[in-house]
Amino acid sequence: MNHEELREFASHTYIFLLHHPVLNREGKVITTAVTNLDIHDISRASRTYGLGGYYLVTPIHLQQELVHRVIGHWQEGYGASHNPRRKEAFDTTRVAGSLDEALQDVSSIEGRMPVVVATSAREHGHARLIDYPQVLELSTPVVLLLGTGWGLHESVLDRCDALLKPVRGPVDYNHLSVRSAASIILDRIFGLR
C-alpha cells in the first residue's frame, strides 16, 4: 500500500475506547472512569495517524459532560488560542454513550456499518485472530476497539469481526496502559517505515 492509499485507509478507520462493559481484575463487569490522559493522548495519536475519528464510549452522563468540557476548552476556550496544535488533535474526538451508539454514528458518516476489530492484552480463542498488516486488507470503514480496566467483556469480543494479536515484547510482562497500546497499534498499522 502506498502513502496515499495508507492515508485514505486511515481516514476511514476509527478508534473506540470502551469504558463499559469491561472487566475488573476479578473478571466482573464494571464501568471505568474516563481519564484526562485518555482524552488527550489517544486524540493526539488518532490525529497523528490521520484516523477518521476517536470515540470515548461511556454510559455515565457526568463522564460524557467532562469529556465535552475538556474538548470544548481546547476547541473553543482559552486552550484553542493557547495551543492550536492541541485544538487540531480534538477535531475528530467524539463521545458516545454505548458501543451501539458509536457504531451507528460511524455508519452514518461512512454509509455502512464498520468492520470491528477488537484488541486485547490477553490471548483469546477468537475464530478470526489477525495480525497488524491484515487490518489493511479489511474493507473500510474499520473500528479498532480498545477496552479499559482489565479488558473487554466477552459479550463485546463475541460481536467483533476480528481480534488483533496482543502487543507483545520480548519478555513475559504485558501490562501497558491503554494509551501506550493504542499508539503502538496505530504505528504498527499506519506508521511509515
Whichever domain contains 7, its CATH number is 3.40.1280.10
Domain span at residue 150 reads: 3-190
| CA–CA gap between residue 10 and residue 47 (Å, rounded) | 10
Positive or negative: CA dihedral 53, 56, 59, 63: negative
**pTM for the model:** 0.94
How many DSSP H helices and E strands does the chain contain? 9, 9
Residue 126's pLDDT is what? 61
Residue 87's pLDDT is what? 83
Mean pLDDT of successive 10-residue segments in the chain (193 residues)? 96 98 96 95 96 98 95 82 82 97 98 96 78 96 97 93 93 90 97 90
Give the number of domains in the chain. 1
Total number of residues shown for the chain: 193
CA distances from 36 to 56, 104, 168, 179, 186 (A): 11, 25, 26, 11, 20
| CA–CA gap between residue 139 and residue 14 (Å, rounded) | 13
Residue 79's pLDDT is what? 73
| CA–CA gap between residue 135 and residue 154 (Å, rounded) | 21
Q: Which of 96, 177, 160, 176 is nearest to 126 (CA)?
A: 160
Positive or negative: CA dihedral 168, 23, 30, 128: positive
